[in-house]
């Protein structure tokens, strides 16, 4: 019988107080991970998540930081190491939210913000946490990308620009740290149902008609993929961009 056992592993989930981040954190904890819960502003939801994870018998450590600022990331790394120990699984889930508009109408500041919250988050967080993974000759980096990077639809330009930049950074990183037994992969959700948004049949009907599996994915679908990539079952997978979209986008060869 195959099972996913992450006992004695420490995971850090950025944006863990958000809709998707909470489900990823819970699922990792159910597989045995201790969780460093990162949040930026929503302390109440982060605290509630901490109680949930502790009720599962796992350690949960809260840490607040602005991941676009190097000093904040350095402080976060020091606090996590002292409070939880070396991170084995780094999940880059946080991203800034903004109003999508056509490129000619999108504020330039939105492009800067997306670059900082995707590309620079990946750079700063891996610089902070991968040296310890290199020292222990093992580790997992899992970033949340999006199906939008393959769609390139109107109004997506700032989001796609940031996520495509992150994709390039992480593919290079996968080659650089592979010799240290560290894998670097990306999970790319489609339009995902979360706790906040479970049922919108009228709004999602057209989208679902274009999905081969004829439904939207759930936050649990995404979390399951993250846990798989964190496990030994995925020990020979690195540099992957894994769409979890029901077939809505399909990378070609």
- Residues 86, 145, 96, 41, Cα dihedral to 10°: -40
Q: Where are the beta strands (DSSP E) in the chain?
A: 10-13, 34-39, 60-64, 89-92, 139-144, 182-189, 192-193, 217-218, 241-244
Question: What number of other Cβ atoms are within 10 A of residue 200's Cβ?
Answer: 12
Report the C-alpha gap between 169 and 119 in whole angstroms: 7
- Per DSSP, the residues of 23-76 read HHHHHHHHTT-EEEEEESS-HHHHHHHHHHHHHTT--EEEEE--TTSHHHHHHH
Q: How far is CA 175 from CA 17, 81, 120, 238, 239, in A?
A: 31, 26, 19, 8, 8
Among 192, 78, 86, 204, which residue's Cα sits nearest to residue 140?
86
207 in active site? no
% helix, strand, coil for the chain, step of 5: 45, 15, 35
Catalytic residue among 39, 159, 207, 241: 159
CB 95 within 8 A of CB 158: no
**Which active-site residues does the annotation give?**
159
């Amino acid at each position: 019988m195959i099972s996913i056992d992450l006992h004695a592993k420490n995971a850090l989930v950025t944006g863990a107080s958000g809709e998707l981040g909470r489900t990823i954190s819970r699922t990792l904890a159910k597989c045995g991970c201790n969780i460093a819960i990162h949040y930026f502003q929503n302390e109440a939801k982060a605290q509630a998540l901490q109680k949930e994870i502790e009720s599962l018998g796992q350690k949960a450590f809260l840490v607040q930081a602005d991941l676009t600022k190097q000093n904040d990331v350095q402080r976060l790394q020091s606090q996590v190491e002292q409070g939880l120990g070396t991170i084995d699984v780094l999940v880059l889930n946080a991203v800034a939210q903004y109003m999508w508009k056509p490129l000619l109408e999108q504020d330039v500041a939105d492009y800067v913000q997306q670059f900082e919250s995707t590309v620079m988050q990946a750079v700063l967080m891996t610089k902070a946490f991968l040296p310890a993974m290199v020292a222990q000759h093992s580790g997992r980096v899992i970033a949340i990308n999006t199906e939008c990077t393959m769609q390139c639809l109107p109004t997506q330009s700032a989001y796609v620009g940031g996520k495509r930049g992150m994709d390039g950074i992480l593919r290079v990183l996968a080659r650089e740290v592979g010799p240290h037994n560290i894998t670097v992969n990306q999970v790319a959700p489609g339009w995902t149902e979360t706790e906040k948004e479970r049922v919108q049949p009228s709004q999602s009907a057209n989208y679902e008609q274009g999905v081969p599996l004829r439904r939207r994915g759930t936050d649990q679908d995404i979390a399951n993929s993250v846990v798989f990539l964190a496990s030994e079952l995925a020990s020979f997978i690195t540099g992957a961009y894994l769409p979890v979209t029901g077939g809505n986008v399909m990378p070609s060869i």
